[in-house]
Amino acid sequence: MLFQKTARSAAALFGFLFCLSLAAQAQTSTLPNVTILATGGTIAGTGATSTTTVGYTAATVGIQTLIQAVPEMTKIANVSGEQVFQIASENMGNEHWLLLAKRVNTLLAQPTVDGIVITHGTDTLEETAYFLNLVVKSRKPVVVVGSMRPSTALSADGPINLYNAVMLAGSQEAIGRGVLVAMNDQINGARDVTKSNTTTTDTFKASELGMLGYIQGGKPYFYRTATRKHTVETEFDVMNLSTLPQVEIAYAHANVGPVAVEALVASGAKGLIHAGVGNGSLPAKVRPALSAARKKGVLIVRSSRVGQGIVARNGEANDDELDFVAGDNLSPQKARILLMLALTKTTNTRDIQKMFSTY
Ligand code: DAS
């Protein structure tokens, strides 16, 4: 009798535990699958004390530690992590971009992956985001995130930024919006965002054009959408590339001479961004060097150091006559990325000018 009672209660307990495990599986199967690709930066940084917010070491904490530091993420997504590389982002190179882009595209082609987060240093975060915005071939969310304080700092911004980025990457709302940058509870588009302050946590802004939306209470709220083509809409594909064309930037200023332009051309640049003063003006001492470079087959883009506004074709210089490209409102560092990818497709100035009006 006692044996039968014990057997029945054991069976009941087993049944209960089995249902619990099914419920748990059901719960996780309803959560989005988000992969975090870690590349380094301050978000993976450590400082000597909790008040060290400058002079810390970036790119020291591994992805598994970053994930373990934010257990709340397991409630909003099935999170997995890969350490793609571990660098301070001032050292980002084309080889890193190609590795990252290929990994992103490979993962997003898998039906089991719903979205991707990339943890990244903030110094070149905007550039990696824009590069991926042009070469990722999926509508699934790709969210780039960093932090302005190291993981060891008082009120470190990394954990909440990472949590928000994972939430966004797993959200329906972020699908089809291009590569996004999520920091400081704000959502920015990859094309227009820039690091606007050397140290503050609100540094990433799209200034005059504005952010795309907010993150509040663990939810995304979008108010704008990107207007230029991105991701699956672009003509760029890097999956079979092992290198990218060398494109450099020459910065203009009062009393500037041709030395920088000449040296960059001599170094083998296939393209040159002139970060001009004002509306992309060409200083008289630099124009001949740029014109000579064009005649050698180097593609020249007139951009501006100003930071906002449009460098219009045939505005401050006769682009038709010089056979130059006008850089629209892209910053010099983003114009460099677009020209680099353009040169993987064509060297025709008109075709490239069209790309600057499209992306
Ligand atoms: N050196 C900076 C970088 O890795 C640290 C940071 O702000 O992430 O971009």
Percent over 90 (pLDDT), the chain: 86
Least confident among 11-15, 116-120, 294-298: 11-15
pLDDT reported for residue 104: 98
Give how far the C-alpha of residue 34 lies from the chain's centroid of Cα atoms, to the nearest Å: 17
Which atom of ligand 1 is the closest one to the Cα of 43? 8
Containing structural domain, residue 160: 30-233
Least confident among 6-10, 23-27, 98-102, 121-125: 23-27
Among 176, 205, 233, which residue terminates a domain?
A: 233
Based on the domain organization, do 265 and 306 belong to the same domain? yes
Domain assignment present for residue 162? The answer is yes
Based on the domain organization, do 108 and 47 belong to the same domain? yes
Residue nearest to atom 5 of ligand 1 (CA): 42
Report the distance separating Cα 102 and Cα 68, nearest Å.
Answer: 26
- Residue 251: C-alpha distances to residues 130, 206, 233, 241, 247 (Å): 21, 22, 32, 29, 13
Q: pLDDT tens-digit profile of 189-237?
A: 999 999 999 999 999 999 899 999 999 999 999 999 999 999 999 999 9
Based on the domain organization, do 38 and 179 belong to the same domain? yes
pLDDT reported for residue 60: 86
Which atom of ligand 1 is the closest one to the Cα of 88? 4
Based on the domain organization, do 144 and 209 belong to the same domain? yes
Among 233, 255, 283, which residue terminates a domain?
A: 233
Residue nearest to atom 7 of ligand 1 (CA): 122
Q: How far is the CA of 125 from the centre of ligand 1 (A)?
A: 9
Domain assignment present for residue 240? The answer is no
Domain assignment present for residue 200? The answer is yes
Domain assignment present for residue 47? The answer is yes
- Residue 195: C-alpha distances to residues 3, 349, 358 (Å): 71, 30, 23
Q: How far is the CA of 100 from the centre of ligand 1 (A)?
A: 17
Q: How far is the CA of 267 from the centre of ligand 1 (A)?
A: 28
Based on the domain organization, do 36 and 180 belong to the same domain? yes
Q: Which of 123, 127, 148 to mutate to test the pocket of ligand 1 (most atoms within 8 A of CB)?
A: 123
3-state SS assignment for residue 77: coil
Answer yes or no: is pLDDT of 16 > 70.
no
Which atom of ligand 1 is the closest one to the Cα of 124? 9
Kindly report the CATH number assigned to the domain that includes residue 341. Answer: 3.40.50.40
Burial of 255 (0-12, 13-18, 19+ CB in 10 A): exposed
Q: Which of 90, 126, 127 to mutate to test the pocket of ligand 1 (most atoms within 8 A of CB)?
A: 90
Based on the domain organization, do 221 and 304 belong to the same domain? no
For residue 11, count other CB atoms closer than 10 A to its CB: 10
Based on the domain organization, do 54 and 197 belong to the same domain? yes
Q: How far is the CA of 22 from the centre of ligand 1 (A)?
A: 43
3-state SS assignment for residue 328: strand
Domain assignment present for residue 209? The answer is yes
- Residue 319: C-alpha distances to residues 312, 347, 354 (Å): 10, 15, 14
Answer yes or no: is pLDDT of 26 > 50.
no
Answer yes or no: is pLDDT of 27 > 50.
no
For residue 235, count other CB atoms closer than 10 A to its CB: 15
Copy the structure tokens of residue 56: 């810390």
Q: Which of 42, 60, 126, 204 to mutate to test the pocket of ligand 1 (most atoms within 8 A of CB)?
A: 42
Report the distance separating Cα 84 and Cα 82, nearest Å.
Answer: 6
Based on the domain organization, do 166 and 254 belong to the same domain? no
Kindly report the CATH number assigned to the domain that includes residue 76. Answer: 3.40.50.1170
Which atom of ligand 1 is the closest one to the Cα of 87? 4
What is the DSSP pairing of strand 213-216 with strand 271-276? unpaired
Q: pLDDT tens-digit profile of 49-60?
A: 888 888 888 888
Based on the domain organization, do 223 and 256 belong to the same domain? no
Q: pLDDT tens-digit profile of 237-285?
A: 999 999 999 999 999 999 999 999 999 999 999 999 999 999 999 999 9
Q: How far is the CA of 354 from the centre of ligand 1 (A)?
A: 34
Which atom of ligand 1 is the closest one to the Cα of 59? 4
Q: What is the mean pLDDT of the chain?
A: 94
Residue that has been written with the tokens 């020209």 in this structure: 339
Q: pLDDT tens-digit profile of 302-351?
A: 999 999 999 999 999 999 999 999 999 999 999 999 999 999 999 999 99
pLDDT reported for residue 56: 83
Give the CA count within 13 Å in the CB-facing half-sphere of 197: 10
Based on the domain organization, do 159 and 222 belong to the same domain? yes
Q: 151 vs 93, which has greater pLDDT?
A: 93
Based on the domain organization, do 35 and 143 belong to the same domain? yes
42 is catalytic: yes
pTM of the model: 0.92
pLDDT reported for residue 99: 98
Among 207, 233, 259, which residue terminates a domain?
A: 233
Ligand 1 shell residues, CB under 6 Å: 41-42, 58, 88-90, 121-123, 146
pLDDT reported for residue 22: 53
Domain assignment present for residue 10? The answer is no
Domain assignment present for residue 346? The answer is yes
From the candidates 39, 42, 119, 122, give the one annotated as an active-site residue: 42
Report the distance separating Cα 170 and Cα 31, nearest Å.
Answer: 8
Domain assignment present for residue 155? The answer is yes
Answer yes or no: is pLDDT of 7 > 70.
no
Select from 259, 247, 263, 309 the least CA-distant residue to 283: 259
Based on the domain organization, do 184 and 263 belong to the same domain? no
Number of domains in the chain: 2
Q: 8 vs 83, which has greater pLDDT?
A: 83
